[in-house]
Amino acid sequence: MLIRRAPEIKESEVTDERLYVDRRRFIRTAAGAGAGLGLASAFAPLLACEGDAGDRAGSASDQEEELTPFEDVTTYNNFYEFGTDKSDPARNAHTLRTRPWTVTVEGECSKPGTYDIEDILGRHPAEERIYRLRCVEAWSMVIPWMGFPLSDFIEDLQPTSNARFVEFRTLYDPEQMPGQRRAVLDWPYVEGLRMDEAMHPLTIFAVGLYGKVLPNQNGAPIRLVVPWKYGFKSIKSIVGIRFVREQPMTTWMTSAPREYGFYSNVNPEVDHPRWSQARERRIGEFRRRPTLMFNGYADQVAHLYAGMDLRKFF
């Protein structure tokens, strides 16, 4: 599914969230119950789009879980560049200008340079990926992201054998991002992944959600999504990528090293110093549920950390 820029989309064209969710349920029902009646072939284009994305994204449980309402996904956010309250990003992010936008690539790769977002999107069409997002404050969401595998973009850049880590950097512009006028964090925001984490098929560059262009408060125009890690690892509004030999120092490691480590994998057995991580509350629900190891993606990613002490490398 291709995503058009925001100015090209009329309000009348935006799919109502309830219709979007019902459409997904209808497709699943038609695929299962209608095969014998020849209905499956009638929906082949839709099934191909959703089925392909589902096979490569997360697990079957992701596809069956109730989606977090669009309004909650876009109004309850952590994006300190626009304020520290959960409602601040939705209120303040209108000042962010997402066009023109470029991503600068540096370091241990054969194709460093500055890449225009339109060229990136033209080369890498977005598809739906339903992932759970787990925040360190013990809340979670289920979001239908629109994006493409980060590995596809990395392969284009041809990193060398010296590239063991990938560092990401958010835009620094206090005029557009009023939260950066306060020394809440050491700006600009920096995150990083080990190369095998970055190349894992679950890791994506997201450019939209709910079939719409990514809202500013959710990290427009391009952000990282790493579903088995805590949400702050999925850096937003990316303008810089650097391939490096040594593990990069991330923003939260600098600001609070006792509380936040480089890996930031969801591990319910390791409490945050100020709260338990053993249970979580899905936004829109009152009950709390057990937190799953690696946010429920252990079958896909646990092998990346074989032999590591996940209490020490938190």
Q: What is the chain's mean pLDDT, rounded?
A: 86
Between strands 127-134 and 139-149, the pairing is antiparallel
Token readout for 33 is 């119950």
Local confidence band at 64 (pLDDT 50, 70, 90 cut-offs):
confident
More confident residue, 294 or 30: 294
Q: If we measure between CA atoms, which residue out of 96, 77, 71 comes closest to residue 6? A: 96
Instruction: Average the pLDDT over each of 27-31, 132-136, 298-302 and give the range with the smallest value.
Output: 27-31
Reported as a single tens digit per residue, the pLDDT across 170-196 is 999 999 999 999 999 999 999 999 999
Local confidence band at 44 (pLDDT 50, 70, 90 cut-offs):
very low
To which H or E segment does residue 191 belong? strand 190-194
**The residue type at 283:** I
Measured in whole angstroms, how far is the alpha carbon of residue 109 from the centre of its chain? 24
Token readout for 297 is 């993606």
Please state the rounded mean pLDDT for residues 27-43: 36
Between strands 190-194 and 165-170, the pairing is antiparallel
The answer, yes or no, to whether residue 197 has pLDDT greater than 80, is: yes
Give the predicted TM-score (pTM) of the model: 0.85
What's the CATH fold of domain 57-305? Sulfite Oxidase; Chain A, domain 2 (3.90.420)
Reported as a single tens digit per residue, the pLDDT across 219-276 is 999 999 999 999 999 999 999 999 999 999 999 999 999 999 999 999 999 999 999 9
CA distance 138 to 275: 8
Q: Domain ranges for the chain, please list them.
A: 57-305
